[in-house]
Structure formats: C-alpha cells, structure tokens
C-alpha cells in the first residue's frame, strides 16, 4: 500500500515537531506494510515571506490530492499584526475550507503519570477521557458580511454568525457516531438562550439524536460547559459545538492533560484528505532550541493512520508507545523534564519497535 502525505511544517517549532513525528509515522506505517511518499510545502508565515500569501494555490492543490496532511504550527511575532492584510492564520482557515474538513476532533485523556502536571486537583482528573468535536468551516470565522465601516462618525466592525441546518447536522451526526463507540453520551454546547444560530443548532441536535436511540443527548450552554470542563471533566464523553465555542473550549480542555504539547487533533470531512496537527501553537520563544514536546504531533500521526490510512493497529502501537514513555517517567521541558525533542522521539521509537 502506497500513500501520499503532504507535510506543512509551518512556523516556529512546527518544523521541529513535524520532523520528529515523521520518524515515528514512517516506522509504524512500514511495520504495517504501508509505504509513504512525503511532499513538503510552505504554509503560514514562511509562505508569506516566500510567496506573499499564507497559502499558494499549488500548496492547496497538492493537499487536495494527498491521502492526508500533517501540519506543524503557523504564526509568530514577525507576522503578528492584526491590521495586516495577509496573516498566517489565513492559510490555515483556507486549508480547512479547501479540504472541506468540517469537523475537528480533539481527544483529551489524562495520563495517570501526568496528573501532577495539571493545575487541577488530582481528584478532578480521575477518569478524564473525552473528545471535543468542533465544527470547523462555518460560524463567525467564515460568515459574511464581515468588515469595518464608518457609521454616524464612528468606526463599526461587523462579523456574521451563519449556520445552515446541514452544516450542523453533519458534525453532530459525526459526534454521535463517535459516542456509539465510547460511553454513549453526547454533550451539545450552544448559547440557545441568546443566539438564533444556537436555537437552530439545538433543534438539529435533537433531530439527529432520534437517529441514535442508544446514545444520550444533553444540551449545555457554553458558559456552563466552560465551568464543567474544569469542575467535572470526567462526566463528559463526546462534546460537540460550533466553531468559535469549540476554539475556546478545546484550549481550556488542554490544561487537563498538563501540557498543550501532549494533545493531538484531526480535522475530517466526508472522505478526502484529513488534516492532522498538534493543538499547540508555534511557540516562538523556544523555536530552534530542539526542546519542543513532539508527543502531540506524534499522537496526531496516530490519528492520521487510524482515520485516513485505515491502519488502526499501527495507530494503537504509537499510542501505546507514547503511554509507555510517560509511564516510564520520561519528560520534555514543558513537563518538568530535560529530554530534547529528538531524545523523546528516540524513546518512543524504542518502545514502538
């Protein structure tokens, strides 16, 4: 089996963690009898510097033809001007839209050996194993009209929150399918007491729930959900929500695992190339030092193997190797240890083999 993977290392620590993760991906895929062809392209700030745009048409075309895309991180102080017409994040948003990946999956599992790394009390972390399913291509980030104008002598900014019933249905339905394979509970997060889009979201969630009689559905306002994520996270199985709420809640959920460097993500659509990336940013303060935690990116390659290449056993081997590394007390700097990115990856490979 031969598969084509596009690598988008991006900015900051992105090239470092992607480079290490590819070592693990190649080893796991090879052991499963798969041959991977890698193509590297620019995305984000590095693409702006080279081409004047955060993503070229050629890069998007390559990603659309690939079996999967592995991304590092985009952005950094060099391009951090909110007034700039071209920003690194435009490449990421355009890539998601161009690949039609409408659902972002962020699994959050607290390893027993890392409980002390989280700011939460240990008793609140017991049994935490949840997935956040975030709608990725609709809502405020993409709604039109959008922009600024002068009204009665004052500058006015407009962002439009738009969802169709089908956009909601497809991501909620995916959340229910995941719940069927887990603890059979979906928490749908909205702001139905205020927003008309959330009232539609809640209506559609009820309709989808009727298709899955074996899965329980609960509705939760986003402000309540933000509290529950830190007060009783173990009660959540699959949480599904719209784009901006999901953007915020997934970053909040990352503190449960002790470090953003630990968490992977997968962005999926109806077939086509999936997009895989760690949830952390470009971390420009440590870029080039070789100390970034590669585990979030390595675990993202496990999701790539599972969802895009249909190699669940190879994915499970990577996840088990990472578990053993953590259980054996090995740590990068963000977790209070001293291992470099390469040394941590070497340890994962030793346990993978």
Catalytic residue among 141, 184, 185, 323: 141
User: How far apart (Å, rounded) are the C-alpha atoms in residues 85 and 75?
Assistant: 14
* Residue owning tokens 């659509």: 269
Residue 10's H or E segment, with its range, is strand 2-10
Catalytic residue check, 276: no
pLDDT, tens only, 34-85: 999 999 999 999 999 999 999 999 999 999 999 999 999 999 999 988 788 9
Please check whether residue 140 is in contact with residue 157, taking contact to mean a CB–CB distance below 8 angstroms.
no
What are the Cα distances from residue 263, in Å, to 40, 106, 159, 343?
23, 7, 30, 19
pLDDT given at position 102:
96
User: How far apart (Å, rounded) are the C-alpha atoms in residues 165 and 189?
Assistant: 16
Catalytic residue check, 85: no
pLDDT given at position 305:
97
Catalytic residue check, 247: yes
Catalytic residue among 159, 247, 323, 346: 247
Catalytic residue check, 223: yes
Dmax over Cα atoms in the chain, in whole Å?
A: 68
Is the pTM higher than 0.85? Answer: yes
Of 166, 246, 182, 169, nearest to 215 by C-alpha is 182
Ramachandran quadrant class, 258 (left: phi over 0; alpha: psi -120 to 50; beta: rest): left
Catalytic residue among 49, 57, 223, 328: 223
Catalytic residue check, 307: no
- Bridge partners (DSSP) of residue 188 are 219, 240
Q: Spell out where 169-210 has E strands.
A: 185-190
Given a cut of 70, the residues of the chain with pLDDT beneath it are: none
């Amino acid at each position: 089996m031969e598969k084509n993977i596009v690598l988008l290392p991006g900015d900051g620590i992105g090239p470092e963690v992607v480079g290490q993760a590819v070592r693990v991906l190649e080893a796991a895929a090879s052991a499963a009898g798969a041959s991977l062809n890698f193509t590297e392209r620019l995305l984000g700030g590095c693409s702006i510097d080279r081409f004047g745009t955060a993503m070229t048409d050629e890069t998007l075309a390559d990603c659309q033809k690939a079996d999967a895309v592995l991304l590092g991180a985009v952005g950094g102080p060099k391009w951090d001007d909110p007034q700039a017409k071209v920003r690194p994040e435009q490449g990421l948003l355009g890539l998601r839209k161009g690949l039609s990946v409408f659902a972002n999956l962020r699994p959050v599992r607290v390893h027993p050996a890392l409980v002390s790394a989280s700011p939460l009390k240990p008793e609140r972390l017991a049994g935490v194993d949840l997935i956040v399913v975030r709608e990725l291509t609709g809502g405020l980030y993409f709604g039109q009209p959008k922009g600024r104008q002068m009204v009665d002598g004052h500058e006015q900014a407009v962002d439009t929150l738009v969802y169709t019933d089908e956009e909601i249905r497809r991501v909620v339905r995916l959340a229910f399918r995941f719940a069927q394979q887990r603890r059979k509970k979906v928490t749908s997060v909205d702001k139905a007491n205020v927003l008309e889009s959330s009232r539609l979201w809640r209506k559609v969630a009820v309709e989808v729930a009727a298709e899955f009689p074996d899965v329980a559905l609960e509705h939760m306002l986003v402000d309540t959900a933000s509290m529950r994520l830190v007060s009783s996270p173990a009660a959540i199985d699959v949480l599904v929500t719209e784009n901006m709420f999901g953007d915020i809640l997934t970053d909040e959920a990352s503190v449960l695992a002790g470090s953003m460097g630990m968490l992977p993500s997968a962005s999926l659509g109806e077939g086509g190339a999936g997009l895989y990336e760690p949830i952390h940013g470009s971390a420009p303060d440590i870029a080039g030092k070789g100390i970034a935690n590669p585990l979030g990116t390595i675990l993202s390659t496990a999701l790539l193997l599972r969802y895009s290449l249909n190699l669940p056993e190879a994915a499970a081997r990577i996840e088990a190797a990472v578990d053993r590394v953590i259980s054996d007390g090995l740590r990068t700097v963000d977790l209070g240890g001293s291992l470099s990115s390469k040394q941590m990856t070497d340890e994962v490979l030793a346990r993978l083999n």
